[in-house]
Amino acid sequence: MTTPGESRKEAMRQKLQRPSLTTPKQHLKLGCWNVRTMYQIDKTANIVREFKSYNINVVGISEMRWTGFGEVKTTTGETILYSGSDNSHHHGVGLILDKTSRESMITWKPVNDRIISARFFSKFVKLTVIQIYSPTNDSNDDEKDTFYE
């Protein structure tokens, strides 16, 4: 799709400049992790260190406990996308991306404190990663009903 005043050739050139997240001959490593909290000092650094040690491209994080939503870049170059509650440090989800994944990301969307999604460019397909933190059996019925609606 072109923007007003942009030719198809210019649009294709921009599309080709974006790096591909994966190719048919390249492995993509995805993961998910319930960290219990990232609302403690040095917890983020520990999680990013583990992320790098396993050489993962994208990891979904549950129970981050960060408020609001946003994007944070670490000192080592990883990107953390997060979506949490507006007023309390409960629940919260996020995605940690390596440098290649961040460059190939098209868009991301913080839905609420339990759902976040990101869409990535790849040579043959577009990839959407959705991280969800659903209520446990210990949660009350109203909370479960609201989530599943």
Interval 93-149: pLDDT, tens: 999 999 999 999 999 999 988 999 999 998 888 999 999 988 878 888 888 888 888
Number of compact structural domains in the chain: 1
- Please indicate, yes or no, if residue 80 is contained in any of the structural domains: yes
CA torsion 136→29→70→119, rounded to 10°?
Answer: -100
Tokens of 123: 């040579």
- Please indicate, yes or no, if residue 4 is contained in any of the structural domains: no
- Please indicate, yes or no, if residue 78 is contained in any of the structural domains: yes
Q: Dump strand ranges (E) for the chain.
A: 30-34, 58-62, 69-73, 79-83, 93-97, 105-112, 115-121, 126-132
- Please indicate, yes or no, if residue 16 is contained in any of the structural domains: no
pLDDT one-digit tens code per residue, 44-82: 889 899 999 999 999 999 988 888 899 999 989 999 999
- Please indicate, yes or no, if residue 102 is contained in any of the structural domains: yes
Q: Say what the pLDDT of residue 117 is.
A: 96
Distance of CA 25 to the CA centre of its chain: 24
Check: CB of residue 31 under 8 Å from CB of residue 102: no
- Please indicate, yes or no, if residue 5 is contained in any of the structural domains: no
Give long-range contacts, CB 8 A cutoff, 24+ apart: 109-115.
110/69, 110/81, 110/82, 110/83, 111/83, 112/83, 113/83, 113/84, 113/85, 114/147, 115/83
CB atoms near residue 147 (< 10 Å)? 15
- Please indicate, yes or no, if residue 85 is contained in any of the structural domains: yes
pLDDT one-digit tens code per residue, 2-24: 556 556 655 555 555 778 888 88
Q: What CATH number does the domain containing 64 carry?
A: 3.60.10.10
Q: Say what the pLDDT of residue 132 is.
A: 92
Q: Say what the pLDDT of residue 88 is.
A: 78
CB atoms near residue 98 (< 10 Å)? 19
- Please indicate, yes or no, if residue 121 is contained in any of the structural domains: yes
What range does the domain containing 93 cover?
26-148
